[in-house]
């Protein structure tokens, strides 16, 4: 029996670190953002269909996320067209990963898990969380976006309180060690559930 965990959390909450901690405990981890990256690289499955609609988005045989962002900025309808192509390809990538893995626990790292109804396709949900001040400080420390961009991303994501309320487990990412302890206890609880299933 394979148990599938949906891991989610807003930007800057510590999801990547938590995903790595699950992997360190022997879980197979699938990353939605990494899947999109694979689809967009030269030879990726999304390149040809996206190039057919937005030829300007192709740079050196790969899809440029920055160009796509500016296309969406000029034409909000473009996002729906992109999602219609990319979402089924991401779903196939995820299904292939699940089918090919040998681990008894699989973690699907999906930023917009609840926003897209993804919780219906997993056995349990884990939300990473931290206070708003720490979240903002972490994102700003990366130096990759402005405060305005950060607020735009936040506006598209379900509020943290709502995610926590809907999740089966909440991991507070205040320190690396505390996060790792919580990952272990979540897995212990899930393994207990698996043996009694």
For residue 54, the SS3 value is coil
Quote the tokens at residue 65.
């996320």
User: What is the structure's pLDDT at 110?
Assistant: 94
User: What is the structure's pLDDT at 144?
Assistant: 87
Interatomic CA distance for residues 133 and 45, integer angstroms: 39
183 near 25, Cβ under 8 Å? yes
User: What is the structure's pLDDT at 197?
Assistant: 67
Interatomic CA distance for residues 158 and 162, integer angstroms: 7
User: What is the structure's pLDDT at 1?
Assistant: 78
Quote the tokens at residue 1.
């029996």
User: Strand pairing of 28-31 and 58-59?
Assistant: unpaired
| Domains assigned to the chain | 1-27+107-197 (3.40.50.300), 37-102 (no CATH)
Query: Tens of pLDDT along the chain (197 residues)?
Result: 799 999 999 999 999 999 999 999 999 999 999 999 999 999 999 999 999 999 999 999 999 999 998 998 898 899 999 999 999 999 999 999 999 999 999 999 998 899 989 999 999 999 999 999 999 999 999 988 889 888 888 888 899 999 999 999 999 999 999 999 999 999 999 999 988 86
User: What is the structure's pLDDT at 160?
Assistant: 94
């Amino acid at each position: 029996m394979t148990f599938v965990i949906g891991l989610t959390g807003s930007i800057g909450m510590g999801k990547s670190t938590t995903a790595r901690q699950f992997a360190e405990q022997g879980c197979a981890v699938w990353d939605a953002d990494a899947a999109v990256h694979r689809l967009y690289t030269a030879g990726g499955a999304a390149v040809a269909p996206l190039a057919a609609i937005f030829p300007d988005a192709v740079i050196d045989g790969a899809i440029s996320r920055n160009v796509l962002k500016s296309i969406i900025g000029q034409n909000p309808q473009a996002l729906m067209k992109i999602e219609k192509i990319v979402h089924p390809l991401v779903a196939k990538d995820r299904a292939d990963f699940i089918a090919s893995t040998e681990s008894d626990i699989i973690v699907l790292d999906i930023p917009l898990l609840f926003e897209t109804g993804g919780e219906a396709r997993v056995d349990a949900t884990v939300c990473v969380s931290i206070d708003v001040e720490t979240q903002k400080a972490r994102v700003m420390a990366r130096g990759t976006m402005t405060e305005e961009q950060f607020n735009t991303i936040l506006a598209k994501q379900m509020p943290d309180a709502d995610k926590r309320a809907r999740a089966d487990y909440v991991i507070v990412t205040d320190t690396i060690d505390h996060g790792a302890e919580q990952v272990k206890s979540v897995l212990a609880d899930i393994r207990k559930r698996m043996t009694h299933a």
